[in-house]
């Protein structure tokens, strides 16, 4: 029999999965954290680590039989081939497991579904008209998930969010934007005045917890939008400048040098390196203003968890080991709802 206090997180050693494990555990849930065989779990109180392949439904169901919620944090490799093959297979594994457990399946979504012609404000009923590879895969995945709920064997929730940052490495922040921050330079992939949505992962993870606690209010298949921080490149540069001043990387009168992303170079490299080809396809996101309307999410959970933007940026850099202890201690304390 399932209980309302246990969650199984698939891909719990990934960036989103780890943030979700922390958030559910801190909220008092018992957490079963699936990770690949041979991986090492982190010492998070309240988390039981399961080194099992996500396709091993029987074994996972046996050790997580009390889970009332399954959070799918599994991700494919960042190539078109991986998205076409791995992403649907990982979703099928999550669906089968959730059906066996009788659990609600939750997963993060993204804005890829809407494509290059997306409007500036994205609602749950905004037309999904993507033409790119990853966008079409995401549309098909959500359609598959919705279809799996029609016979009553599954309940599912997609919480759509913008670009992730925080909770470790592997984001635009550490791989490109702030890679050379200590040298007084940032790389920005788009125009500085274009507004785009960003999800600070600890905030998004807390929203997952709040939705899980209110899942009985939702339809069998629900989409919700997490607004996060809708900010421009200039706001990013301002936040990173504050950190650079605190760290002594810039004089107070100094300014960060902003370099553009070498998109033409990425396109050429993509002819030989599949990861760069997949990356170059997403350039439109950086020059198309868009943000997520979270009114339906707020109707379910109340105010969305939101760490002030500059605090979230500073905390993300601290987790990456980029900040000196003395300067970090002098910075304003992080606050959040």
pLDDT at site 325 = 62
Question: Is 34 among the domain residues?
Answer: yes
pLDDT confidence tier of residue 337, bands split at 50, 70 and 90: very low
Question: Is 258 among the domain residues?
Answer: no
Give residues with Cβ within 8 angstroms of 126, minimum separation 6: 114, 118, 119
pTM of the model: 0.94
Question: Is 75 among the domain residues?
Answer: yes
Chain mean pLDDT for the chain? 93
Question: Is 326 among the domain residues?
Answer: no
pLDDT at site 253 = 82
User: Are 12 and 49 contacting, i.e. CB atoms less than 8 angstroms apart?
Assistant: yes
| Domain span including residue 222 | 6-163+199-229+289-304
- Let me know how long the chain is: 337
As a whole number, mean pLDDT of residues 57-67 equals: 96
pLDDT at site 140 = 97
User: Are 202 and 166 contacting, i.e. CB atoms less than 8 angstroms apart?
Assistant: yes
Query: What's the structural domain count of the chain?
Result: 1
Share of the chain above pLDDT 70, in %: 95
pLDDT at site 9 = 98
- Residue 328 in this model has a pLDDT that exceeds 50: no
pLDDT confidence tier of residue 336, bands split at 50, 70 and 90: very low
Percent of the chain that is helix, strand, coil (3-state, to 5):
40, 20, 40
User: Are 81 and 107 contacting, i.e. CB atoms less than 8 angstroms apart?
Assistant: no
Give residues with Cβ within 8 angstroms of 219, minimum separation 6: none
Give residues with Cβ within 8 angstroms of 162, minimum separation 6: 110, 111, 196, 197, 198, 199, 226, 228, 229, 230, 291, 292
For residue 154, the domain's CATH number is 3.40.50.720
């Amino acid at each position: 029999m399932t209980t309302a206090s246990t969650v199984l997180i698939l891909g719990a050693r990934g960036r989103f999965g780890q943030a979700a494990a922390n958030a559910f555990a801190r909220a008092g849930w018992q957490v079963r954290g699936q990770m690949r065989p041979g991986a090492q779990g982190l010492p998070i109180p309240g988390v039981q680590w399961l080194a099992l392949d996500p396709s091993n439904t029987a074994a996972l169901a046996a050790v997580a039989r009390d889970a009332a919620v399954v959070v799918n944090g599994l991700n494919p490799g960042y190539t078109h081939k991986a998205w076409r093959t791995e992403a649907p297979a990982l979703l099928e594994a999550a669906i089968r497991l959730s059906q066996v457990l009788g659990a609600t399946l939750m997963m993060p979504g993204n804005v890829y579904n809407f494509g290059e012609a997306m409007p500036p404000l994205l609602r749950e009923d905004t037309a999904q008209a993507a033409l790119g590879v990853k966008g079409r895969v995401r549309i098909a995945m959500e359609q598959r998930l919705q279809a799996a709920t029609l016979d009553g064997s599954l309940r599912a929730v997609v919480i759509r969010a913008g670009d992730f940052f925080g909770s470790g490495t592997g984001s635009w922040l550490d791989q490109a934007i702030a890679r050379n921050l200590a040298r007084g330079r940032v790389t920005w992939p788009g125009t500085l005045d274009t507004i785009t949505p960003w999800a600070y992962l600890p905030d998004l993870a807390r929203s997952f917890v709040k939705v899980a606690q209110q899942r009985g209010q939702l339809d069998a298949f629900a989409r919700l939008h997490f607004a996060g921080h809708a900010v421009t490149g200039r706001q990013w540069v301002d936040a990173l400048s504050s950190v650079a001043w605190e760290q002594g990387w810039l004089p107070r009168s100094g300014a960060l040098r902003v370099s553009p992303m070498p998109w033409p170079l990425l396109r050429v490299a993509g002819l030989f390196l599949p990861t760069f080809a997949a990356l170059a396809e997403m350039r439109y996101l950086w020059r198309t203003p868009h943000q997520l309307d979270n009114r339906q999410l707020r109707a379910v959970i109340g105010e969305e968890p939101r760490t002030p933007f500059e605090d979230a940026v500073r905390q993300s850099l601290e987790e990456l080991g980029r900040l000196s202890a003395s300067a970090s201690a002098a910075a304003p304390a992080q606050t959040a709802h």
